[in-house]
Structure 1
């Protein structure tokens, strides 16, 4: 005799199956990689192929493209906000600053084109996260300046803009940039130029 499955209380959320949770994580990770390499116009078919799932799985999870873009942006911003909080918790203000600066530079290089789309594609939730990250970044920069570890002649916004410099390396006099070393070298030079000691 088959036992009836207990009824879900009215208004209670249905439990998410473990495989569905795994698929959701795979889709989001694949979307991040695909958007970073292809841009915002990446197709659901490309994301599904990257995730190793059927395209229907992507559509069920994110029926609207803006939902997918918002999820990608929220995921990235959540990581950066966590890094910023850790940076503020460092006893050594320079160590905290350089850690956040490096992560922001890597984010910019790996996600070219996304920064200008934060509010347009993310909606209020992403806009709120962006403003939170900006405020935390300002605190990290000004803390390092107050401790005399970071040069004070640059406003915090100008310091932040420098995180995009390594990503803008292009061909100079016919010499192509070296992707293996160019970004790391530019980042090292930038940090050395910002440090006061």
Structure 2
């Protein structure tokens, strides 16, 4: 009689460490260079051999999916925290600041995520955007966010606030980025009541 199948052994500690290092290195490389970054650059940032990256993620799509799900999951968790803390302006600003810093500093988020990450990434992106819509509309209902904004505007405003490391030979630093975010947030507050106020902007086509 055939012997019973042995249960799968859990990965060794060093294999788990290498897997974590590969994912961290891939996130850093994608942030700097986008989703077309080479496995050699990922391996360099992870501090492992390129063979380790290929063994862990033989398919590029699988690795890019893991990177994007990790990043979108963090943004989604931040949006959920903001929604759970009540309709106050500080909760909204914390989420917007996190969104701005991550989108401004991550080249991978400028790519077509649905095409490059597969259906799980597409679902995660839609979930994040739905939370963004709810945050925007709640802030407008309580009067903390100007009514002529659409939720669709917010990712563009977030990216514009931290759109690059420098301009005209002037280098940016984290404090400068945070200052720009504060200026953008100030502009998102409701204007003084008066005639001729525009209605909400149009959303996506």
Normalising by structure 2, we get a TM-score of: 0.83
Of 30, 33, 36, 2:31 maps to 36
RMSD across aligned C-alpha pairs, in angstroms?
Answer: 2.0
Q: CA deviation at 1:92?
A: 4.3
Q: CA deviation at 1:98?
A: 0.9
Match of 1:150 in 2: 145
Match of 1:179 in 2: 172
Name whichever of 108-117 and 127-136 sits farther off: 108-117
Equivalent pair of 2:34/2:111 in contact (CA under 8 Å): no
Equivalent pair of 1:94/1:149 in contact (CA under 8 Å): yes
Greater percentage in helix: 1
1:98-177 equivalence runs, <5 A: 98-168=93-163, 171=167, 175-177=168-170
Equivalent pair of 1:93/1:140 in contact (CA under 8 Å): no
Equivalent pair of 1:98/1:191 in contact (CA under 8 Å): yes
Residues matched between the structures, number: 186
Normalising by structure 1, we get a TM-score of: 0.86
Equivalent pair of 2:34/2:108 in contact (CA under 8 Å): yes
Match of 2:186 in 1: 192
Equivalent pair of 2:24/2:46 in contact (CA under 8 Å): yes
Name whichever of 131-140 and 47-56 sits farther off: 47-56
Distance, in Å, in 2 between the alignment partners of 1:145 and 1:193 is: 14
Equivalent pair of 1:31/1:47 in contact (CA under 8 Å): yes
Match of 1:8 in 2: 6
Where structure 1 has 5 or more consecutive residues not aligned to the other structure, the ranges are: 1-5
Listed one character per residue, the Cα deviations across residues 32-72 of structure 1 (whole Å, up to 9, x for unaligned) are 11111122232212211211112111001110111111111
Listed one character per residue, the Cα deviations across residues 96-130 of structure 1 (whole Å, up to 9, x for unaligned) are 21111111111111112533321111100000000
